[in-house]
Amino acid sequence: MNNTQFNIDLELIPSTFDAIHAYLAATVFGLALTVIILLFALLMGMMRRAKENKQTKPSDNKEQAISTSIPKREPQVKIVEKIVEVEKIVEIEKIIQAPAPEPIILKESTPDAALQLLTLLQSEARFIDFIKEDMAAHSDADIGAAARVMLTGCSKTINQYFNVSPVRSEEEGSQITLAAGFNASEVRLTGNIVGEAPFKGTLIHKGWKVTDVKLPKLTEDHQAEIIATAEVEL
Amino acid sequence: MSQKSFGSLFEANKTESDDTDTQTTEVDLVETETEAEIPTESSSESSTETTEEKINPLQGTHYSIGIDLGTTHCVLSYVDISDPENEEIVQEVLQIPQLSAPGVIEDKPQLPSFLYQAHESELPEGESVLPWTAEPEYLVGEIARKLGEKTPMRLVSSAKSWLCHAGVDCKSPILPSDAPEEVDQVSPFQASAAYLEHLCSAWNKQHPNAPISEQEITLTVPASFDPAARELTAEAARSVGLKNAILLEEPQAALYSWIEKSEGDWRNHANIGDIILVIDVGGGTTDLSLIAVTEEQGNLGLTRIAVGDHILLGGDNMDLALAYTLKAKIEKEGKRLAPWQIQALTHACRSAKETILSDEAADNIAIVVPNRGSSLIGGTLRTELTRDEVDSVLLQGFLPSIESNEHPVMNSRTALRTKGLPYAQDAAITRHLAAFLTRQVNAVNDIEGVNLAENASFIHPSAVLFNGGVLKAPRFASRLMDVLNEWLATENAPEARLLTGLDLDLAVARGAAYYGYVRQGKGVRIKGGTAASYYVGVESSMPAVPGMAPEVQALCLAPFGMEEGSNEELPNDEFGLIVGEPVRFRFFGSKTRREDTVGTRLEYWEDDELEELDEIEITLAEENRTIGEIVSVHLSSAVTETGTLELQAISNQDDTHWKIEFDVRSSED
């Protein structure tokens, strides 16, 4: 076991430079040289690319530079379109609107005015009192008497604070003609709606419109939610 | 004091001397001020505002403002008069911001003449804010009326009627008259000033560049106001800074409004010789005036020839009468009514009355008084107001068809003075009218061109002008015309015609604003002067008779029809007055004695000829004199430009003047 040819003695240092060692040394040298050349080539390549980046930055934005050239072409197409349509001002507007449609804003009514109207109707017409009543418990005659109070009060209130006039002055049931371009928010067509204006039809309801609102002003601290104060007699 | 009145007399005399052509007078005034600035007067409209003020404080004002300080409502109307060349009149009525509920501010053309003394815990903080002040001194207007409906003991109403109420000191806090001790009372004077103050603030808020104190103000008073009440009204105006305010009788204002509304056409509706009867039935008072149409240098002139008594009778009485009729009807059914129900009933009757009197078709009107609680249906009180009831209560009660010689029934009331107002005892307006027309049968004797049939037992009006909310009801108006025309027919006089076209609620304020424009020398001006002659009571020198009060003679101080800005002296009647001691005189007025001149002594007069007014008082101040010294004085009277009567004692030795006060009124005599 001790004197075998393939015994590895790590403490043994060769004292002669034989052919095998020379071959090994040459191989190591050759490999190292290859690695150095490859690394150098890689470094040069990276440096060249970095230079290219620096040159493109000022002309275009970062994202476009990083991304491919396809998105870069799209705005160019748009610009061409715009130039073509500059003469038609209206259409430009349309186009501007079209890509970014305005968000639809729904008007939110402030509760104050509504509460104020309720207060007025309650104080003049006992409106809330009336609608909070249990109708089933009373006779028609009693309800009628109370309704009289409510109705006279309501009409007084409405006439005092609003100017209400009919939309159409014609008699209901009469034939009227609507010319082209009539105001569709004032007049609604129903029934057999076909063809083009002028439309001929029967006035079913004359409509109402408020021409003037004169609601009272409120002080800063006024609590609109209290639509009827509790009353205590001393 | 004396100096001030002297100044105004001087100025007034100047205008009077040129009365027929006021325009020239004004030009004269301008010239005397600064000649250099005259051209600017006719320059463009835009520059007038600043330049005019420099020229003349009287002309520099921008608007003519008419204020109707009514018993139940106040109205302010105005006309732009900054351009003297402008012939077109644009009349506007001020929308008066006022609290209508706690924390709610509404603009209304009328300011209800009510004042409410709220309890400190009654209103939440910040709920009584007005556009011009965070904390108003008093609650006035709509909110006062509304709160007062439920708490009457804190409500001041009809302050104006108290001003003309003999026997109370109008500057002492007496209102609300039935308030418990804890409630702060105010004087009728303070209340009137509070309404004016509100109007002024509302104006100043809306016209920051034209403060009201620099405008021409015309304040209306009932034609029947006595000198003391006029003085109090003028003083209330001064106390809120309205230094330029002048007084105008309400029926005259109504006629001015009619003239203005007709836009020149009135000349076709009035003829020389016409006697126009103005009947003004407001919420609380009835006011009567007669105005004659005369000829003046080829033009139509107007002269106010007579005014009626102060009658506390109006629309409110009618509502109350209807409410009590219905109350009786309901109580017959065995139901008892609470005070708040009567209040609500009165309210409901007001609107029902208006409907039934204006609508020929409406026969029966249902009256419903709802429960106070939140349950509306169960507790309602229902009844009906029928046409017959309206006819019998209102037409028969207030406008009975009577003969022209039937006069108001006067129950001799107990001599005790009551705390309340002296309401008219007889509710029949037609009887008051008949009495007025009969008393004034001689009113046109001295008026040229106006003649009355010889056999006439009362003065025959040929035209009638209505004013006041009550007469908006066509059936009232036609009833009144029918009764009057019946009287005229019995004396074979032509029917009186009705002059139309007035806005009966706002006419007085509008007419007053127009009057300010007329005072600039445009349009016709109603002449008239004082509506009565005034007398002091002087004890006649005769041996004393035990048990008999010394006879009193009436010495005429101011004649009938004394014009504004004129004065009279009585140098022949000397009085010895003790320095430092108040001296009181009895004071009388007569609306019928036109012939008396200054210095006339009356030893005997008919009961209805002279009316005793409140006593007047004079205290000689000590100035350079010792207390107890007797100074010989004579009396003088003047009608100021404002329209108030001013009495003075003038020393016979030097020229010292002492003012004689009207407004010292006390109930203890």
The string of DSSP letters for B441-479 reads: TTTTTT-TT----TT-SS---SEEEEESGGGGSHHHHHH
Instruction: Taking residues B468-475, report their average pLDDT.
Output: 87
Residues near B596 by beta carbon (within 8 Å), at least 6 away in sequence:
B533, B556, B559, B560, B590, B602
pLDDT of B463 reads 93
Residue A170 forms part of a structural domain: yes
Q: Looking at the complex, report in whole angstroms how far the Cα of residue A210 sits from the nearest Cα belonging to chain B.
A: 19
From the list B509, B565, B523, B513, the residue with the least C-alpha distance to B62 is B513
Contact B557, B599 (CB under 8 A): no
Q: Is residue B125 less than 8 Å (CB to CB) from chain A?
A: yes
* Cis peptide bond N-terminal to A198, omega within 30: yes
Q: Looking at the complex, report in whole angstroms how far the Cα of residue A112 sits from the nearest Cα belonging to chain B.
A: 12
In the predicted structure, residue B482 carries a pLDDT above the cut 90:
yes
Q: Given B372, B374, B380, which is nearest A149 (Cβ)?
A: B380
Residue A36 identity: I
Q: pLDDT grade, residue A19 (50/70/90)?
A: confident
Residues near B425 by beta carbon (within 8 Å), at least 6 away in sequence:
B408, B409, B410, B411, B413
- Chain A residues near residue B380 by CB distance under 8 angstroms: 142, 145-146, 149
Q: Looking at the complex, report in whole angstroms how far the Cα of residue B192 sits from the nearest Cα belonging to chain A.
A: 26
Q: Looking at the complex, report in whole angstroms how far the Cα of residue B175 sits from the nearest Cα belonging to chain A.
A: 22
Regarding whether A95 and A120 lie in a shared domain, the answer is no
Residue A25 forms part of a structural domain: yes
Contact B555, B647 (CB under 8 A): no
pLDDT of B67 reads 94
B316-394 CATH, one of 3.90.640.10, 3.30.470.10, 3.30.70.20, 1.10.30.50: 3.90.640.10
Q: Given A146, A221, A231, which is nearest B376 (Cβ)?
A: A146
Answer with the residue of higher pLDDT: B366 or B550.
B366
Residue A49 forms part of a structural domain: yes
Regarding whether A48 and A27 lie in a shared domain, the answer is yes
CA distance B159 to B163: 7
Residue A229 forms part of a structural domain: no
CATH 3.30.420.40 residue spans of chain B: 261-313+407-503
CA distance A119 to B127: 15
Q: Are strands B582-590 and B139-140 parallel, antiparallel or unpaired?
A: unpaired
Q: Do A219 and B370 touch (CB under 8 A)?
A: no
On the CB side of A137, how many CA atoms lie within 13 Å of its CA? Answer: 7
Q: Looking at the complex, report in whole angstroms how far the Cα of residue B439 sits from the nearest Cα belonging to chain A.
A: 45
CATH 3.90.640.10 residue spans of chain B: 316-394
pLDDT of B495 reads 92
- Chain B residues near residue A132 by CB distance under 8 angstroms: 374
- Chain B residues near residue A157 by CB distance under 8 angstroms: none
- Chain A residues near residue B375 by CB distance under 8 angstroms: 129, 133
In the predicted structure, residue B496 carries a pLDDT above the cut 60:
yes
- Chain B residues near residue A116 by CB distance under 8 angstroms: 104
CA distance B358 to B132: 40
Q: What is the mean pLDDT of chain B?
A: 81
Q: Which of A42-46, B189-193, B407-411, B526-530 has the highest mean pLDDT?
A: B189-193
Answer with the residue of higher pLDDT: B319 or A67.
B319
Q: Given B105, B124, B380, which is nearest A216 (Cβ)?
A: B105
Q: Given A130, A135, A221, which is nearest B103 (Cβ)?
A: A221
Cβ–Cβ contacts within 10 Å for residue B659, how many?
A: 15
- Chain B residues near residue A148 by CB distance under 8 angstroms: 366, 368
Helix (H/G/I), strand (E/B), else coil: B488:
helix
Regarding whether A96 and A120 lie in a shared domain, the answer is no
In the predicted structure, residue B163 carries a pLDDT above the cut 90:
no
Q: Looking at the complex, report in whole angstroms how far the Cα of residue A127 sits from the nearest Cα belonging to chain B.
A: 9
Regarding whether A94 and A44 lie in a shared domain, the answer is no
Residue A10 forms part of a structural domain: no
Residue A1 forms part of a structural domain: no
CA distance A174 to B590: 68
Helix (H/G/I), strand (E/B), else coil: A131:
helix
Residue A192 forms part of a structural domain: no
Give the nearest chain B residue to A161 (CA atoms). Answer: B106
Q: Is residue B100 less than 8 Å (CB to CB) from chain A?
A: yes
Q: Do B127 and A222 touch (CB under 8 A)?
A: yes
Give the nearest chain B residue to A135 (CA atoms). Answer: B377
- To test the contact with chain A by mutation, choose from B377, B381, B382, B384 the residue with the greatest count of A C-beta atoms within 10 A, namely B377
- Chain B residues near residue A214 by CB distance under 8 angstroms: 107
Instruction: Taking residues A98-104, report their average pLDDT.
Output: 72
Contact A150, B376 (CB under 8 A): yes
Q: Looking at the complex, report in whole angstroms how far the Cα of residue A164 sits from the nearest Cα belonging to chain B.
A: 19
Q: Do B368 and A142 touch (CB under 8 A)?
A: no
In the predicted structure, residue B257 carries a pLDDT above the cut 90:
yes
Q: Is residue B338 less than 8 Å (CB to CB) from chain A?
A: no
Q: Do A145 and B106 touch (CB under 8 A)?
A: no
pLDDT of A4 reads 52
- How large is the greatest C-alpha to C-alpha distance in chain A, in angstroms? 137
Answer with the residue of higher pLDDT: B283 or B544.
B283
Contact B295, B449 (CB under 8 A): yes
pLDDT of B168 reads 77
Instruction: Taking residues B307-333, report their average pLDDT.
Output: 89
Q: Given A129, A148, A219, which is nearest B105 (Cβ)?
A: A219
Instruction: Taking residues B420-438, report their average pLDDT.
Output: 86
Q: pLDDT grade, residue A6 (50/70/90)?
A: low
Q: pLDDT grade, residue B10 (50/70/90)?
A: very low
Residue A11 forms part of a structural domain: no
pLDDT of B307 reads 92
Residues near B218 by beta carbon (within 8 Å), at least 6 away in sequence:
B64, B65, B66, B67, B245, B246, B247, B248, B253, B512, B513, B515, B516
DSSP letter at A184? T
Regarding whether A75 and A126 lie in a shared domain, the answer is no
pLDDT tens by residue, B446-457 = 777 777 877 889
Regarding whether A75 and A48 lie in a shared domain, the answer is no
Structural domains counted in chain A: 3
Strands, DSSP E only, in chain A? 162-166, 175-178, 199-202, 208-213, 217-218
pLDDT of B250 reads 92
pLDDT tens by residue, B322-347 = 999 999 988 888 888 888 888 888 88
pLDDT tens by residue, B598-620 = 888 888 888 778 888 888 888 87
- What number of C-beta contacts closer than 8 Å exist between A and B? 74
Give φ, ψ of A56 to 5 degrees.
-80, -25
Q: Do A221 and B125 touch (CB under 8 A)?
A: yes
Q: Given B103, B124, B380, which is nearest A145 (Cβ)?
A: B380
Helix (H/G/I), strand (E/B), else coil: B650:
strand
Q: Given B100, B125, B376, which is nearest A149 (Cβ)?
A: B376
**B 364-393 → A contacts, CB under 8 A:** 366, 368, 370, 372, 374-378, 380, 382
Least confident of B115-119, B361-365, B503-507: B361-365
Q: Looking at the complex, report in whole angstroms how far the Cα of residue A87 sits from the nearest Cα belonging to chain B.
A: 48
Give the nearest chain A residue to B384 (CA atoms). Answer: A145
Q: Which two tokens stand for residue B563?
A: 């014009």
pLDDT of A210 reads 94
Q: How far is CA B150 from the centre of its chain?
A: 29
- Chain B residues near residue A146 by CB distance under 8 angstroms: 368, 370, 376-377, 380
Give the nearest chain B residue to A146 (CA atoms). Answer: B377
Q: Do B378 and A145 touch (CB under 8 A)?
A: no
Q: Do B375 and A145 touch (CB under 8 A)?
A: no
Q: How far is CA B47 from the centre of its chain?
A: 37
Regarding whether A152 and A78 lie in a shared domain, the answer is no
Q: Is residue B119 less than 8 Å (CB to CB) from chain A?
A: no
pLDDT of A44 reads 86
pLDDT of A82 reads 44
- Chain B residues near residue A138 by CB distance under 8 angstroms: 377-378
In the predicted structure, residue B84 carries a pLDDT above the cut 80:
no
Q: Is residue B653 less than 8 Å (CB to CB) from chain A?
A: no
Least confident of A122-136, A153-167, B140-154, B538-552: B538-552
Residues near B49 by beta carbon (within 8 Å), at least 6 away in sequence:
B62, B82, B209, B210
Least confident of A85-89, B291-295, B434-438, B582-586: A85-89
Asked if the interface predicted TM-score (ipTM) of this complex is over 0.95, the answer is: no
Cβ–Cβ contacts within 10 Å for residue B409, how many?
A: 10
Q: Do A231 and B372 touch (CB under 8 A)?
A: yes
Helix (H/G/I), strand (E/B), else coil: B661:
strand
pLDDT of B523 reads 79
Give the nearest chain B residue to A127 (CA atoms). Answer: B376
**B 223-252 → A contacts, CB under 8 A:** none
DSSP string, A148-181: HHHHHHHHHHHHHHEEEEES--SPTTSEEEE-TT
Helix (H/G/I), strand (E/B), else coil: B208:
coil
pLDDT of B544 reads 67
pLDDT of A145 reads 83
Least confident of A50-59, B136-145, B350-359, B508-517: A50-59
In the predicted structure, residue B552 carries a pLDDT above the cut 50:
yes
Q: Do B377 and A142 touch (CB under 8 A)?
A: yes
In the predicted structure, residue A186 carries a pLDDT above the cut 60:
yes
Contact B95, B109 (CB under 8 A): yes
* Cis peptide bond N-terminal to B102, omega within 30: no
**B 457-476 → A contacts, CB under 8 A:** none
Give the nearest chain A residue to B375 (CA atoms). Answer: A129
pLDDT of A81 reads 44
Q: Which of B77-81, B156-160, B191-195, B365-369 has the highest mean pLDDT?
A: B191-195
DSSP letter at B271? -
pLDDT of A71 reads 44
- Chain A residues near residue B377 by CB distance under 8 angstroms: 130, 133, 135, 138, 142-143, 145-146
In the predicted structure, residue B664 carries a pLDDT above the cut 70:
no
pLDDT of B42 reads 38
Q: pLDDT grade, residue B419 (50/70/90)?
A: low
Q: Which domain holds residue A150?
A: 112-178+201-213
| Fold classified for B261-313+407-503 | Nucleotidyltransferase; domain 5 (3.30.420)
